[in-house]
Amino acid sequence: RKEVEQDPGPFNVPEGATVAFNCTYSNSASQSFFWYRQDCRKEPKLLMSVYSSGNEDGRFTAQLNRASQYISLLIRDSKLSDSATYLCVVSLEAGGSYIPTFGRGTSLIVHP
Amino acid sequence: DAGVTQSPTHLIKTRGQQVTLRCSPKSGHDTVSWYQQALGQGPQFIFQYYEEEERQRGNFPDRFSGHQFPNYSSELNVNALLLGDSALYLCASSTGTGNPYEQYFGPGTRLTVT
């Protein structure tokens, strides 16, 4: 099992739709969780952090489910500009310290 | 407010050569991390520098080494290049006192090894 897993997609949705992605992780002791967005041939950009109590920023909601070891990202009222790859990053233990471990990303395509 | 800058943007090397990539962090940031991103994959953590020392390291061989300078800029060196080292190399900066996962990435250096 990969340490951080994401469905690569693509998720193909119409404008205005609600879409959700999950990211599963292998280490129950992980403490830090974030979502990044990466446009084609560009660098990743920080989207939002994921707290135990959940986190909402406009149309975006991030949730953490420690029992099932996954984080989620919900996008409401999708816009064309939301088309991108969404990367999760989780702190995973390696050699006695925790290092940031990215998933391979989930591709989202929002069409008119 | 200057963001993270990296140089060069593209580089072509042959197997066995050595390469040096450079990064300047975002203004106010003192921590630099390096990542390798292969096509279709997420960034893979190479190492992180803080106070001119390697603070953390991912699962990369010793051929990958780095340095951080007193002005917080950083270099990534790769020796004895392999075809498999072809990738986008990303630098990310953060603050040493904040959450290191709140990072700002540079545009990357695309390395092609032939």
Question: Between these two residues, B95 and A58, which has the higher pLDDT value?
Answer: A58
Per-residue model confidence (pLDDT) at position A97:
76
List the beta bridge partners of residue A38. A44, A85
CB contact A3 to B (< 8 Å): no
CB contact under 8 A, A43 and B107: yes
pLDDT number for residue A30: 82
Q: Does A101 touch chain B (CB under 8 A)?
A: yes
- pLDDT of A108: 98
Q: What is the pLDDT of residue A67?
A: 92
The pLDDT tens digits along chain A (112 residues) read: 678 999 999 999 999 999 999 999 988 888 889 999 999 989 999 999 998 888 999 999 999 999 999 999 999 999 999 999 999 999 887 777 788 999 999 999 999 9
Residues of chain B with C-beta less than 8 angstroms from the C-beta of A84 = none
User: To which residue do tokens 């061989």 refer?
Assistant: B61
Instruction: Pick the residue of A24, A99, A104 with the most B CBs within 10 A to test the interface with B by mutation.
Output: A99
Q: Which residues of B touch A104 (CB under 8 A)?
A: 40-42
Percent of chain B residues topping a pLDDT of 70:
99
Q: How far is CA A65 from CA A5, A24, A81, B80, B84, in A?
A: 15, 9, 28, 43, 36
**In 3D, which of B38, B34, B35, B45 has the Cα closest to residue B82?**
B38
**Nearest-angstrom CA–CA distance, B113 and B16:** 9
* Bond into B8 cis (ω within 30): yes
Which residue among A6, A43, A101 sits closest to B108, beta carbon to beta carbon? Answer: A43
Task: Kindly tell me if the per-residue pLDDT of B1 is higher than 80.
Answer: no
- Is the pLDDT score of B16 beyond 70? yes
What are the b/e assignments for A65-75, b being 16+ CB within 10 Å?
eeeeebbbbeb
